[in-house]
Structure 1
Amino acid sequence: LNYDFASVGFPMSNNTALGISMIRLASDDNYDTRGALIDVNSGQVIHDINNPNARIDPSRVKLFSTADWAIFTSYAFQFSDVLSFGGNVKLLRRENAEYNAFGVGFDIGARYRASEQFILGANFQDVTTTFVSWNTGRNELITPTLKLGSAYLLDALGGQFAPALDVDIRFENRRSASNFNLGSMSFDVHSGMEYLYKNMLALRAGYSEVGVLTYGGGIRLTKFAVDYSFSQYNVFEQFENTHRISLIISFQ
């Protein structure tokens, strides 16, 4: 899988900001064998895989991508020194070979600093239920997801530790597919830790709801920051290890 993300933010005033972001999550260069199954004797295209004369003609195999695109326009407002709100409008596009879909959704969020050390956050994704329409005439609904998170800042060893814990609450009747559930409501838990030294060097580790360990680090300078993370997905055999690199540039 390929995951690409780009974003730019603009301060509008002392307590407001506007952002524009784009995400692409895709599986590229997939083999499309439709129309590539032939009768080895006649060379004609057939559709019966159980035909003893059936063979795949490599010259007829095509490549295609399956991709999800999302473009966000976000607005954030700092209500007070301890409370901030935000929201976005997102345009969605899904592509699967010759099929595609379009959708519109909304997210809202809030951040509350309960004390100098303790921070709480909430993010309600697809808050109104996101409608996705395919060019085949089929329609889909993306149900809301409520994300609740917390972090505690602790000064130690010449830097700052930030253990974090959050939970994803979904309403899709996922049951055994989640960490635990109450009826149709499911809960998936994530945890992590960051150590930031001199507000410049960072070390991170995390644990996802599917049992994947992640590690990473970063460096912050005056005008830019670079971060790296590693996820050990190969424990599931279906996925290879994942490396992510991000770059942040400040123009202030």
Structure 2
Amino acid sequence: MKNLLTILLLTFCVSVSAQTTRKYSNEFMNIGVDAAALGMSNAVTAFSHDVNSGYWNPAGLVHIEDKQLALMHSSYFANIANYDYAAFAMPIDNNSAIGISLIRFAVDDILNTTQLIDDDGNINYDRISLFSTADYGVTFSYARKLPFEGLNYGINAKVIRRVIGDFANSWGFGLDAAIQFETRNEWKFGIMARDITTTFNSWAIDEEEFATVQDAVEGQNQELPETTELTIPKLQFGIAKKFIYRYDFSILTEVDLNIRFEENNDLISTSIASITPSFGFEVGYIDMIYLRGGVGNFQNELQLDNSEKVSFQPSIGIGFKYNCIQVDYAFTDIGDQSVALYSNVFSLKIDFSCFR
């Protein structure tokens, strides 16, 4: 029990303590949505053109012709954590569109044993309670075509809500901005700037509840962690091209560069910024059956002999589309290329044009 309480305390401190700029604040918003995109290793910044564009590149929302709905579920860490996503988008007119999406990443039904032993030293299992630690992200998207042919822009306004049982909770706000451009020969380019103003989180900590964790673990008397977080901006650049082969087959390819303004283990890393590429492809047959694959998250990993080895994360996926309903599946974190466990991702997309 002491080990579990120690883990809980450390997790709490890591979650809410802040530096001048937190490098990993709100990372749940960077996991990704839509099994089709995850099967392509998230390399969809330039090509994204449906309801899921609210996440990947809001400028792509201008391509939808009717209302669309998307749903996704996946589990992480051997089904301990659940990641759920829902999105809705619709055109306003021929030149603009709006969308809204919700992400929830949570571990539910965690045992709170801080009150297991009463003041007299008696163990009472009725004093055990359950709590959840959950992160929520709500995104409001707007996209519009610009007077220049093939050029579109989009913006996101994000509201972040994070809850750690009765111990602490926070509210956060941020903005994204993006553009897409398509040439006459159908090359597509995309830029997505996340958290352009930095995303600010303000935490409220219940000092009495936090004290119960400190008191339950012998020798743990830490001061309350700081209550503010700032998420630094990120940039994604993408270039994509779709080829048609003998009318029935299509091949979509895209290459993205993901830029973070920090020094880390990315493939290219400097004191100013770090860059890692991702590549994805999709082979389609009669616009009904899809096979996807990709590779990304290239990292320079330090080995035990102080040498460096480049690791990467491959992904694969399949999809099936019938009329206006599309079901997709992705299998990520494959093999020994990642410290994470295997993840199975399922998503559903519905285009309401079929129900007119």
Cα distance in 1 between the residues matched to 2:322 and 2:169: 42
Question: Structure 1 pair 37/81, CA: closer, same or farther in 2 (3 Å)?
Answer: farther
Distance apart, 1:225 and its partner CA: 1.2
AA partner of residue 127 (structure 1)? I
Question: Structure 1 pair 65/188, CA: closer, same or farther in 2 (3 Å)?
Answer: farther
Contact 1:17 1:77 in 2 (8 A): yes
Cα distance in 2 between the residues matched to 1:186 and 1:247: 34
Contact 1:76 1:85 in 2 (8 A): yes
Query: What SS does the corresponding residue of 2:297 show, helix, strand or coil?
Result: coil
Other-structure match for 1:74: 141
Cα distance in 1 between the residues matched to 2:137 and 2:283: 31
Contact 1:117 1:154 in 2 (8 A): no
Which of these residues, 245, 268, 271, is aligned with residue 156 of structure 1?
Answer: 245
Note the residue ranges of structure 2 that are not aligned, 5 or more in a row.
Answer: 1-80, 206-225, 299-311
AA partner of residue 177 (structure 2)? I
2:282 is aligned with 1:194: yes
What's the TM-score, normalizing by structure 1?
Answer: 0.84
Query: What SS does the corresponding residue of 1:183 show, helix, strand or coil?
Result: coil
2:255 is aligned with 1:165: yes
Query: What SS does the corresponding residue of 1:175 show, helix, strand or coil?
Result: coil
Residues 88-103 of structure 1 aligned to structure 2 (within 5 Å): 88-98=156-166, 99-103=168-172
The structure showing larger relative contact order (alpha-carbon pairs under 8 Å, at least 6 residues apart) is: 2
AA partner of residue 77 (structure 1)? R
Deviations 1:189-243 (A, max 9, x none): 2211111222222110111205222111112222221111111356378643211
2:174 is aligned with 1:105: yes
Question: Structure 1 pair 146/237, CA: closer, same or farther in 2 (3 Å)?
Answer: closer
2:228 is aligned with 1:139: yes
Other-structure match for 1:51: none
Distance apart, 1:127 and its partner CA: 0.6
Cα distance in 1 between the residues matched to 2:229 and 2:156: 21
Deviates more, 1:143-152 or 1:214-223: 214-223
Cα distance in 2 between the residues matched to 1:160 and 1:216: 16
Which of these residues, 74, 79, 100, is aligned with residue 20 of structure 1?
Answer: 100
Deviations 1:163-205 (A, max 9, x none): 211121111x2323x2321213111222111112222221101
Of Structure 1 and Structure 2, the greater strand share is in: 1
Other-structure match for 2:155: 87
Of Structure 1 and Structure 2, the greater helix share is in: 2
Cα distance in 2 between the residues matched to 1:229 and 1:251: 24
Note the residue ranges of structure 1 that are not aligned, 5 or more in a row.
Answer: 46-56
What's the TM-score, normalizing by structure 2?
Answer: 0.61
Query: What SS does the corresponding residue of 1:235 show, helix, strand or coil?
Result: helix
Which of these residues, 188, 191, 194, is aligned with residue 122 of structure 1?
Answer: 191
For these two proteins, the number of residue pairs brought into alignment is 237
